[in-house]
């Protein structure tokens, strides 16, 4: 069966074990405690990236996803952020 990962991706859940399977790594904006940072989710783990992209890029991604800096959660990264992360060699 299919369900939605906390990052917003669609992922397959094993109907017997109830365990979600991995999905292709996705760049997300992690908002926590009014702080935004970049992370990669693969459905099993969310790994924070130890970098700080330009703040306006993070804010734009949060706004696009209909979120806010004071609403904790994972937001889909914009193509602009993906390009930025790729240029830094953080994602493939």
Is residue 9 a contact point for Zn ion (CB under 5 A)?
Answer: yes
Binding mask 43-72 for Zn ion (x = CB under 5 A): x-----------------------------
CB closer to Zn ion out of 21 and 54: 21
Residue 5 CB, nearest approach to Zn ion (Å):
3
Is residue 41 a contact point for Zn ion (CB under 5 A)?
Answer: yes
DSSP 40-85: EE-SS-EEE-S----HHHHHHHHHHTT--TTS-EEEEPPHHHHHHH
- 3-state DSSP assignment of residue 24: coil
Residue 85, phi-psi category: left (phi > 0), alpha (psi -120 to 50), beta (remainder): alpha
Is residue 5 a contact point for Zn ion (CB under 5 A)?
Answer: yes
Chain positions contacting Zn ion, by CB under 5 A: 5, 7, 9, 41, 43
């Amino acid at each position: 069966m299919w369900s939605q990962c906390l990052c917003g991706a669609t992922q397959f859940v094993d109907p017997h074990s109830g365990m979600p399977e991995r999905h292709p790594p996705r760049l997300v904006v992690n908002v926590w405690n009014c702080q935004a940072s970049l992370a990669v989710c693969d459905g099993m783990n969310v790994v924070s990236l130890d970098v700080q992209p330009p703040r306006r890029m993070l804010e734009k991604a949060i706004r696009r996803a209909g979120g806010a800096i004071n609403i904790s959660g994972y937001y889909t990264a914009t193509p602009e952020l993906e390009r930025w992360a790729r240029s830094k060699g953080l994602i493939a």
